[in-house]
């Protein structure tokens, strides 16, 4: 039996650097992913499709691992980087975007993502595990944003 957990995360922040520098980092999926915590492996599947394999969370038979793949498209003119899910790759379906806009103080970065994870757990655990998974992914995104800020403002 599997438990499905849906997650939606949004963050907005400003980086005091130029649009080209921010766009080049975020549009380069392996480079951007190097700032995301707990990535065990990022695999280039070709045609700008990447499979993400996160490190396991938990212990022994109760450990869970998130695996998903996305196709990435970017437009420097629009200041956007989009990812759409690749079905039947792993146990997650994830989509999202970065939207970048120049401001007086630098570049405003808007990050949005949503996904559904299918976890091999008994249905009775859904009420208990859902908040834990959501908290964990929010913490990962917060760390990712802080890592990006550090890389871009140094």
CATH number at residue 66: 3.30.530.20
Q: Are 111 and 94 in contact (CB under 8 A)?
A: no
Mean pLDDT of 12-22: 96
Instruction: Find the domain containing 61 and state its range.
Output: 3-152
Mean pLDDT of 103-125: 88
Tokens 């249905």 belong to which residue? Answer: 123
**What's the CA gap between 2 and 133, in Å, rounded?**
14
Least confident of 56-65, 83-92, 107-116: 56-65
Check pLDDT > 80 for residue 109. Answer: yes
Using the 8-state DSSP alphabet, how is residue 117 labeled? Answer: E
Total number of domains in the chain: 1
Q: pLDDT: is 133 or 13 the higher one?
A: 13
Least confident of 36-45, 82-91, 119-128: 119-128
Beta bridge partners of 5: 117
């Amino acid at each position: 039996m599997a438990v499905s957990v849906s997650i939606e995360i949004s963050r907005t922040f400003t980086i005091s650097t130029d649009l080209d520098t921010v766009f080049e980092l975020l549009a380069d999926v392996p480079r951007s992913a190097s700032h995301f915590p707990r990535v065990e492996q990022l695999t280039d599947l070709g045609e700008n499709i990447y499979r993400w394999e996160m490190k396991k969370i938990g212990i022994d038979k109760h450990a869970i691992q998130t695996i998903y793949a996305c196709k990435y498209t970017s437009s420097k003119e629009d200041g956007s980087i989009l990812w759409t899910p690749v079905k039947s790759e792993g146990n997650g379906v994830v989509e999202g975007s970065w939207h970048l806009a120049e401001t007086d103080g630098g570049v405003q970065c808007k990050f949005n993502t949503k996904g559904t994870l299918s976890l091999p757990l008994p249905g009775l655990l859904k009420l208990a595990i859902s908040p834990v998974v959501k908290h964990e992914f929010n913490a990962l995104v917060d760390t990712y944003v802080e890592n990006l800020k550090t890389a871009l403002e140094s």
